[in-house]
Structure 1
Amino acid sequence: MGYVAVRGGSKAVENAEKLVEYFRIKGESSLLDIEAVKDQFRLGIDKIMSEGSLYDRDLAAAALKQSEGDKIEASFLLRAFRATKPRAYYSTIEKTNEMRILRRISAAFKDVPGGQILGPTRDYTTRLIDYKLFNEDREAVNKFKEEFLEEINNKSEDELESRPEFPKVIDLLKEEGLLIHNDEKKKQIKPDTDITRDGLDFPASRSAALQVMARGETGGMITLAYSTMRGYGNIHPVLGELRVGYLPLKINHPEKDEEVVLGEVLVTEAEVISQEFSDNEDQDMPVFTVGYGICFGHNEEKAIAMAVLDRSMAADSSDAPAEDQEFVLSHIDGIEAAGFTAHWKLPHYVTFQSVLDRIRKSQAEGRVKDE
């Protein structure tokens, strides 16, 4: 594919940049404060941090404001910033069963140890426009917050101090010998890789595949996962467990032989369970396998889609798009996909003129032949 240089357009480019800024601020409404963006666009910020592969709520809010709400552009800005920073440390591995839970549900079992925690969710709300938002004022907001916090403060000390443990649902199946991991099934236990430094080769290890999906574009991953449920594949999973909560961020102290806690990271984790039938001589019993997904922030659809695709790519066949590892991992990065889509806006004068000349010549020859 050939391109030609564009000359004499620097002034037009500068004016285009000014016009973008003008369109962002041309209205007479109050300018959005970064804190307001961060607080009131919580889920959008979480998606940007996940797809931008950088956990920083302030920068994600600034990127969302700068991009006028364009999530892909905001993720692009965040990942570009990330690329300029050195990697100082690697965090230690954390057990998610020690997560500080905000939300935890299971669709596989009604009664699970620790109970179902609905947490902040719109799953049970009516999907209608809330017209009160047109006239929302600070006084009404403060009143709601006071009443809500008063209700919490009226709880007994036992209720507030109780910290229930939340064992993993899949561990219950493991204890009965009903579940195996995809790593065991496909023998994909390989040294961990860093896809931001080593690149991606196929077939990719499960660790590399999970890294790609962890920063994949939510909509693209949902589309591919949805295709498996529509019959383009043979995976019909059940949501074993979904968790939203905070994990401690720890690193090994550079000088002392100890771990240091730097803070907490909000994550969403999903584990889906699918029945596995196999003719493998080493596996003479039907078992369940698990698909795993985890991402920054509160983003349940992405974590579930990631878990479904993890399980789908472990299938013995690759008859469906979502079962083909190379197909899935090559098409779920929203920033890369948007970049390639944007390249069509670049000058293609030479290539198109070449095709145009061939078409004109072919039509002319065809008319002569007809005559």
Structure 2
Amino acid sequence: MYVAVKGGERAIDNAHAWLAEERRGDTAVAELSVAQIREQLKLAVNRVMAEGSLYDADLAALAIKQSRGDLIEAIFLIRAYRTTLPRFGASVPVATDDMACDRRVSATFKDAPGGQVLGPTFDYTHRLLDFKLAAEGKAPQAPEARAETASTPHIMSFLDREGLVQQEDASDATPPDLTREPLELPADRALRLQSLTRGDEGFVLGMAYSTQRGYARNHAFVAELRIGTVPVEMEIPELGFAIEIGDIEVTECETVNQFKGSKTEPPQFTRGYGLVFGMSERKAISMALVDRALRWKELGEDNVGAPAQDEEFVLYHADNIQATGFLEHIKLPHYVDFQSELELIRKLRREAMPTQEAAE
């Protein structure tokens, strides 16, 4: 017979102690430091910062260590911590034209103004296990220092000059803050971009892939992908002007898409846009593709029923913290609910038995 199971604080404390022991692992092996995670698992740290909406590499590395490498759990920790932080003000929009690029590539122009910068990338590796890494040998050194440029114009700006790219309305209005206000639909583009940039990388990637397979009639080219640092400025009321308070690493992607035009717009190119904390080009490209798919209504295009065109489906399911919470809550005690369903099934079976026996 099914009965309610009673637990207690002692069992929970024991579970926490066991978790801490499992987290540490074999004590004969040196413990990972936060600095090691920050420096050597940079892409994981970048993802936690981006989806946790908090730019702090040390805290992201600490969260990864605490979560035993479970990045979604680490993102949850970072978001929870962020809610405790006071907010002193807002920065002015970053000018990515001023990015000091570590990587800058274009799939549309071979001789891109400003040059192509391959940077640190897996694109040209052979995807073979490097057993030299297991030997823990001397760290490799780049052959020469990278060159930084003070200003790197966007490649799309050169198409803008010819009037070949749809002009997007600029606005000085402050967009809603998704970290402080719940998502409401319909969402404007600024809110959609916020949702996508902190959305689960795997989910956004899947949505982007679907657009490439024909679920949105949306064929895109990467006009430009750039990774580098940009200065962050904040306006100080007492001074009357903005001052630089630091710099952050970001990944930016602009895609160019063919647009046949509408009753009010001539044939031209349109763009998709992605901007993410840290080095995260897969996420930035995916974000740009989904951004463009979600723009079908404002561009007067047909909705072909593609998942990536469904604003509610995409935005309400992209957040991995909400998804994880709803998914994992079903492993918590549901004794009362199950008992009621168990009794219902027993009752239905009892009622059905005489009918079945009569039919026989």
The TM-score with structure 1 as length reference comes to 0.89
| More divergent stretch after superposition (354-363 vs 108-117) | 354-363
- Contact persistence 2:273–2:288 (CA under 8 A): yes
Q: Give the 3-state SS of the residue equivalent to 1:293 in structure 2.
A: strand
Residues 256 and 30 of structure 1, relative CA distance in 2, 3 Å threshold? same
Corresponding position: 1:238 with 2:221: yes
Structure 1 residue 88 displacement after superposition: 0.8
Q: Could you tell me which of 267, 276, 287 is aligned with 1:286?
A: 267
- What residue is the counterpart of 1:361 in the other structure? 347
Corresponding position: 1:295 with 2:276: yes
Q: Give the 3-state SS of the residue equivalent to 2:134 in structure 1.
A: helix
Corresponding position: 1:208 with 2:195: no
Structure 1 residue 275 displacement after superposition: 1.0
Q: Hey, what's the Cα distance between the residues in 2 that align with 1:36 and 1:204?
A: 40
Q: Hey, what's the Cα distance between the residues in 2 that align with 1:198 and 1:317?
A: 31
Q: Hey, what's the Cα distance between the residues in 1 that align with 2:51 and 2:180?
A: 17
Q: Could you tell me which of 263, 267, 272 is aligned with 2:255?
A: 272
Q: Could you tell me which of 295, 298, 302 is aligned with 1:314?
A: 295
Structure 1 residue 242 displacement after superposition: 0.3
Aligned residue type for 1:196 = T
- What residue is the counterpart of 2:31 in the other structure? 31
Q: Give the 3-state SS of the residue equivalent to 1:244 in structure 2.
A: strand
- Contact persistence 2:100–2:149 (CA under 8 A): no
Q: What do residues 238-257 of structure 1 show as CA deviations (whole Å, max 9, x unaligned)?
A: 11110101010110124211
Q: Give the 3-state SS of the residue equivalent to 1:113 in structure 2.
A: coil
- Contact persistence 1:317–1:323 (CA under 8 A): no
- What residue is the counterpart of 1:179 in the other structure? 165
Aligned residue type for 2:235 = N
Corresponding position: 1:65 with 2:57: no
Q: Could you tell me which of 305, 311, 333 is aligned with 1:325?
A: 311
- Contact persistence 1:188–1:205 (CA under 8 A): no
Structure with the higher fraction of residues in helix conformation: 1
User: Over the residues paired in the alignment, what is the CA RMSD in angstroms?
Assistant: 2.2
Aligned residue type for 1:311 = R
Q: Give the 3-state SS of the residue equivalent to 1:179 in structure 2.
A: coil
Q: Percent identity?
A: 43
Q: Could you tell me which of 226, 234, 250 is aligned with 2:233?
A: 250
Q: Could you tell me which of 239, 246, 249 is aligned with 1:263?
A: 246
Q: What do residues 21-58 of structure 1 show as CA deviations (whole Å, max 9, x unaligned)?
A: 01112302101111111110011100010011100011
- Contact persistence 2:100–2:151 (CA under 8 A): no
Structure 1 residue 190 displacement after superposition: 6.3
Residues 101 and 188 of structure 1, relative CA distance in 2, 3 Å threshold? closer
- Contact persistence 2:101–2:149 (CA under 8 A): no
- Contact persistence 1:210–1:293 (CA under 8 A): yes
1:35-50 alignment runs, 5 A limit: 35-50=35-50
**Structure with higher RCO (Cα < 8 A, 6+ apart):** 1
Aligned residue type for 1:324 = D
| More divergent stretch after superposition (239-248 vs 187-196) | 187-196
Q: Give the 3-state SS of the residue equivalent to 1:135 in structure 2.
A: coil
Aligned residue type for 1:136 = E
The structure 1 segments of at least 4 consecutive aligned residues displaced by more than 3 Å after TM superposition are 5-8, 162-165, 187-191
**Unpaired runs of 5+ in structure 1?**
154-158
Residues 305 and 52 of structure 1, relative CA distance in 2, 3 Å threshold? same
- Contact persistence 1:291–1:310 (CA under 8 A): yes
